[in-house]
A and B are shown apart, each in its own frame.
Chain A
């Protein structure tokens, strides 16, 4: 197609061709084309087929309000052709049509629409009951637009940014740009979002003249130049706003184009004030076959010519209800479109100059007339017009029908910001009745259509935003209000909805093929509020989310008298205002995880790393899922575990010990300098929250450890439970400052003694002792603990020296068979000793008593008001609780029951917490939480595991711990 290439308003470069594929065809567009305009320029009229009835659909608007022009681009379904800029080499294909949009095998569905009244799924498809399961696969296959393959990999680069701003202006039309400039003049930081690829909104393409005689597009371009020159305004083009939240949070995404280093990026702005200047969209006119290809909105037809140099048709009929439509008719005539007739819904209030212009061009103007039907199977060939009250009719041949009932303010962002809307009879708009603080509205969405009035209302909003920030703008605001008062006020709008006709094929919602008749059917069933009608009749719940029916539905329901309170009610607007790729929302996906200082060493040693909470940890160091070699090394020689993820804290100050007494169940008043004290923290329910070791490192100075998972909560937990006490203490989280090496095994002392001058003999450093000494001048805090059940030293080392100390120990133990061990080995080792891991042997409702740690509770410290103390008293002898027990299999050669297997009699009586094969004892051992009636030693347990086929495994509750019950190995 030949483009008009001398228009000053063009946004394309006719000399820069872009080739692309459409199905099997090779086509050419030009730089600046969208996919939709390029297809249209190549003669494509039917873009796809509709969801339910497979009706042909074409270009209707240019801002993606409907799903008519959703296409597949490079394997990505549901790409909006209207808002996606054409790129060289794109592969475009149509959707929901086989073999193609021009001839679709399922086109016959349209003839069956009578059989599918609103809600027919609910009322018909279950009779008989057998029918429904058979219908489901068919319905699923028919539903949905666009195909996404299961192995699809999203192409493209992503980005995300979080700019701060004083003012966020939504919409870079005349009002938005004026608002931005007013705020920028005061030195405020402005973020300005525009969904189209260029600023200017409703005026940038129009050759008509403002009241000062200058063409709209020129005036608008001057404004845009000022915006782009302002150092205070950050203008995001191609960036639709998708969310507006309270407190000035605005989200958007931006489609990149060279030289942007991204294809799409997510933008989140926190602004002190928000200005919504989102303008209007056109309200569809409802008549039979109102969505036939060849029917389009006035702005669509006009912009195709003015912006992209494409004549939208050869012979056009207009059926409009606003001056913008008349203006388009005049201008398209001048550009070479034959205008057969202009039907105008309004009898009066028309712009005189435009009426004269139509007359000069001998274009018939039919006041009070409207289109009632579009004819033609795949595209418009003829239209029927009817006079006032449907009395006269005439049919005109044409290939373009420009139809537009009026304007709809784009109020999505305002509503999301918390504005309350009320219906205004003069404009026919839902106008903001009240705005939240620091939110302002300006421009065409307030009903004003005059260039100057729009600009001044924008300036007023900008000044108000400046005023919000504390800069006094009372005088300037007053001037703007006066100026606005002297300019044309909000234009009177039509409330016309339905042209005379049956309404059977008048589509109120294109996306879901919902007609006016379907809405009637829903109202007949008793649905009276638009929100429910929407759900029952599926209106505005499709891919375009109410872009087409959003305004007509409330008006139609209101006019039908169904609305319960007699007022039109808007339907709910929801985020995202423009459908947004999950890829774009996901952005760059920074993974906030932590590695211990030994991470690289662990990996080099063959560690199988996995994520546990925020940490990466080594589960094992070989293929063996049971970690036999690691376990045997610890039991017979020596091994080392990277335990750096343990929580580590310093608490100090005159009241530190009171704090410890508040949160720990034990008595903290006497922690000697040379001993480590093991204790637990409970929640108010007496349930186990944490356990760890406390040491005293100085006067009123303590160091304590917590479990890995709890470390992030410890400071807030302690401060929470002391928040009323006004105690004098400080607490520091040292978790990342120290690493921890657990050196364990009968040879542990030998290894340690080789790297330090300190005396680490059993006499000098006994079990549960605490010492501070140096390894190569590196200060080390050492505790003799025994989680794995052997002689072991927990060495707390400054994080930066961890690698050095680890390597020294490794070297020192080389001849003794030292090796790293992982979490799996640790788990079996500690299980043999029946040491609990919180979360593994306890659940939310498990008390200190339940796991057999009641001995840690010091009941005689009422002064401490210990957290959980009350519940520990009340549950101490409570029957019917789940208790932790150790068990062995009745037959030691029986297979190991899986963790989580349930223990049953006639009911479920408990479950296996952890069970492992003990290489030391050469049989399976386990810990289980069972009903206390079954917890006595010698009780028989029946274990039901998934897949056991009803054959229960037998186990016996036995004495614990399984390994070294006297604890001699710990003390050697």
Chain B
């Protein structure tokens, strides 16, 4: 078969200067590099990755995509992202396997229904399809649901979001790497950034374990490690708590779940991959750490909770659990900013456990920001200064439990 032996991306030697250096070979970094090259002709770009591309959250998330967030500042980013998957598949000539199966979010009480009506009303006002269902309609959609009064928190309704679904996360990493590499971007795996240098109030270079690289632009898109890089190398403290989030899969089964199903009260979600595994996860142990270790309590709780509303899953077996890092902010919205603390320094972090969904679009806008120096309007609400101005974004209504401030 033609092209069978062609490498997806090609290793290159490290140059002494680049027009932009991106720290982190995850989705946000690769997407930014790709759009710098595609939209702005800036191809002299290095993506520096300490391990291998997709090592962090990009390869550990559970690949769910949706546009049913809470605020109008967030929703457009996610909506655009949903529209972009088929486009990128064509453009990158790499099947990102977008499976538009729809998402069903369950409500287990009055308060949850109210929260959903807010989300649904907001989404529909912005032209995004989302609707409220009663328990019977939920059951019609997902026959495996238990809508009886037996569970601790009986199902009182749901929010159905047809445009959402799942995307093959590894494919996005590899596809973007392919796109970057074809356009001349250098991807340096196994390379660690050890310092960032400034001259006259501007960013001037980065130090790596493979030498010094001069550059006028640096993007910190290192996911779970970005806050540490910011405080250690950029001299910029961020309002971020890095927690471990875990996910697990069952052995593959013939098609059983045809949607992504999630429940706030039980802190979990479940969906079936194209391979037939049922993926589930969501809750986090609320103490910061940089391990990706899994915990015994977590997998047990997950089994308890997911089988409360999907009791048939008791007959499935977990076969693998893994952990990833989630860089959580106090308002569960990301921090996207530029020229902090110095000109040429950009940050794209604080994405917690939802950084996958809009990674490609964020990369596109971030590329514009880096190329023009002007912050695109859509990214303005995510600036760092909102925390000192007491203007949290409202992506979460409840007080978050990982912050000592609550």
Interface residues of A (CB under 8 A from B): 51, 67, 70, 75-78, 117, 121-127, 129, 132-133, 136, 139-141, 143-154, 243, 245-246, 249, 251, 266, 268, 521, 524-527, 529, 531-532, 535-536, 538, 541-543, 545, 564, 574-576, 579-587, 589, 591, 593, 610-612, 619, 683-687, 689, 720, 839-840, 843-845, 847, 871, 874-875, 878, 880-881, 898-902, 904, 907-908, 911, 944-947
B388 smallest CB distance to A (angstroms): 9
A843 to B394, CA, bound (A): 8
Contacts of B302 in A (CB 8 A): 585
Q: Are A581 and B125 in contact (CB under 8 A)?
A: no
A255 smallest CB distance to B (angstroms): 13
B15 interface residue (CB < 8 Å to A): no
Nearest residue, chain B, Cβ from A70:
B251
Given known A145-B251, A536-B170, contact A246–B52 (CB-CB < 8 A): no
- Supply 12 further A-B pairs (C-beta < 8 A) apart from A524-B5, A545-B319, A583-B314: A122-B171, A133-B100, A148-B312, A245-B296, A579-B251, A582-B315, A582-B317, A585-B300, A586-B307, A900-B115, A900-B116, A907-B72
Residue from A77, A542, A582 within 8 A of B306 (CB atoms): A582
A328 to B70, CA, bound (A): 65
Q: Are B255 and A902 in contact (CB under 8 A)?
A: no
B209 smallest CB distance to A (angstroms): 14
Contacts of B397 in A (CB 8 A): 839, 843-844
Interface residues of B (CB under 8 A from A): 1, 3-10, 52, 59, 72, 86, 89-90, 93-100, 109-111, 113-122, 124-126, 130-132, 143-144, 152-154, 168, 170-171, 174-175, 190, 250-256, 272, 274-276, 293-296, 299-300, 302-304, 306-307, 311-322, 331, 390-394, 396-400, 404-406
A541 to B274, CA, bound (A): 13
Q: Are A154 and B276 in contact (CB under 8 A)?
A: no
* 3 closest cross-chain pairs (CB), A and B: A144-B276, A900-B117, A585-B303
Nearest residue, chain A, Cβ from B171:
A122
Q: Are B99 and A136 in contact (CB under 8 A)?
A: yes
Residue from A78, A524, A875 within 8 A of B4 (CB atoms): A524
A-B contact count (CB 8 A): 288
Q: Are B120 and A585 in contact (CB under 8 A)?
A: no
Given known A151-B312, A689-B406, contact A122–B94 (CB-CB < 8 A): yes
A684 smallest CB distance to B (angstroms): 5
Q: Are B296 and A582 in contact (CB under 8 A)?
A: no
Contacts of B90 in A (CB 8 A): 126, 129
Given known A685-B392, A945-B121, contact A582–B255 (CB-CB < 8 A): no
Contacts of A243 in B (CB 8 A): 294, 296, 299
Given known A146-B254, A249-B296, A945-B121, contact A874–B97 (CB-CB < 8 A): no
A51 to B98, CA, bound (A): 22
Contacts of B115 in A (CB 8 A): 900
Q: Are B275 and A144 in contact (CB under 8 A)?
A: yes
A875 to B317, CA, bound (A): 52
Contacts of B154 in A (CB 8 A): 610
Q: Are A908 and B256 in contact (CB under 8 A)?
A: no
B397 smallest CB distance to A (angstroms): 4
A871 to B126, CA, bound (A): 33
The listed residue with most B CB atoms (<10 A of its CB), out of A246, A874, A908, is: A908
Contacts of B89 in A (CB 8 A): 126, 129, 132
A958 to B280, CA, bound (A): 47
* A–B complex contacts, Cβ < 8 Å, 5 sampled: A77-B315, A122-B95, A148-B312, A908-B126, A947-B131
Contacts of A685 in B (CB 8 A): 390, 392, 405
Q: Are B331 and A586 in contact (CB under 8 A)?
A: no
A468 smallest CB distance to B (angstroms): 21
B60 smallest CB distance to A (angstroms): 11
B259 smallest CB distance to A (angstroms): 13
The listed residue with most A CB atoms (<10 A of its CB), out of B99, B153, B251, B397, is: B251
Q: Are A144 and B315 in contact (CB under 8 A)?
A: no
Given known A574-B320, A844-B396, A902-B125, contact A945–B315 (CB-CB < 8 A): no
A155 smallest CB distance to B (angstroms): 9
A128 to B126, CA, bound (A): 31
Given known A148-B256, A581-B315, contact A117–B1 (CB-CB < 8 A): yes
A378 smallest CB distance to B (angstroms): 23
Contacts of B320 in A (CB 8 A): 541, 545, 574-576
Nearest residue, chain A, Cβ from B154:
A610
**Binding site of A, secondary structure by majority: helix, strand, loop or mixed?**
loop
A370 smallest CB distance to B (angstroms): 29
Given known A154-B315, A845-B394, A946-B117, contact A51–B252 (CB-CB < 8 A): yes
Residue from A148, A245, A586 within 8 A of B304 (CB atoms): A586
B154 smallest CB distance to A (angstroms): 8
Nearest residue, chain B, Cβ from A147:
B254
A833 to B158, CA, bound (A): 31
Nearest residue, chain B, Cβ from A610:
B109
B134 smallest CB distance to A (angstroms): 12
Contacts of B190 in A (CB 8 A): 564
Q: Are B153 and A611 in contact (CB under 8 A)?
A: yes
A127 to B96, CA, bound (A): 12
A184 smallest CB distance to B (angstroms): 25
Q: Are B394 and A591 in contact (CB under 8 A)?
A: no
Contacts of B300 in A (CB 8 A): 266, 585-587
Contacts of A582 in B (CB 8 A): 250, 303, 306-307, 313-318
Given known A144-B255, A840-B111, A844-B398, contact A151–B406 (CB-CB < 8 A): no
A564 to B118, CA, bound (A): 51
Given known A251-B296, A583-B307, contact A75–B315 (CB-CB < 8 A): yes
Contacts of A146 in B (CB 8 A): 251-254
A901 to B125, CA, bound (A): 10
A105 smallest CB distance to B (angstroms): 15
Residue from A150, A576, A839 within 8 A of B398 (CB atoms): A839
Q: Are A686 and B4 in contact (CB under 8 A)?
A: no
The listed residue with most B CB atoms (<10 A of its CB), out of A140, A589, A686, is: A140
Contacts of B394 in A (CB 8 A): 843-845
A755 to B114, CA, bound (A): 41
A266 to B304, CA, bound (A): 12
B182 smallest CB distance to A (angstroms): 13
A593 to B251, CA, bound (A): 32
Contacts of A268 in B (CB 8 A): 296
A529 smallest CB distance to B (angstroms): 6
A58 smallest CB distance to B (angstroms): 20
Given known A144-B253, A944-B125, A946-B121, contact A844–B116 (CB-CB < 8 A): no
A209 to B300, CA, bound (A): 44
Q: Are B97 and A899 in contact (CB under 8 A)?
A: no
B402 smallest CB distance to A (angstroms): 13
A527 to B318, CA, bound (A): 28
A908 smallest CB distance to B (angstroms): 5
Q: Are A525 and B7 in contact (CB under 8 A)?
A: yes
Residue from A133, A581, A899, A911 within 8 A of B316 (CB atoms): A581
A853 to B288, CA, bound (A): 34
Contacts of B306 in A (CB 8 A): 582
Nearest residue, chain B, Cβ from A900:
B117
Contacts of B272 in A (CB 8 A): 140
Q: Are A126 and B250 in contact (CB under 8 A)?
A: no
Residue from A70, A141, A611 within 8 A of B255 (CB atoms): A141
Residue from B114, B119, B294 within 8 A of A575 (CB atoms): B294
Nearest residue, chain A, Cβ from B123:
A946
A145 to B254, CA, bound (A): 6
Q: Are B121 and A140 in contact (CB under 8 A)?
A: no
A75 to B314, CA, bound (A): 12
Nearest residue, chain B, Cβ from A882:
B394
Contacts of B122 in A (CB 8 A): 902, 908
Given known A582-B307, A843-B394, A900-B114, contact A574–B294 (CB-CB < 8 A): yes
A59 to B193, CA, bound (A): 51
Q: Are A845 and B392 in contact (CB under 8 A)?
A: yes
Contacts of A593 in B (CB 8 A): 152
A520 smallest CB distance to B (angstroms): 10
Q: Are B94 and A123 in contact (CB under 8 A)?
A: yes
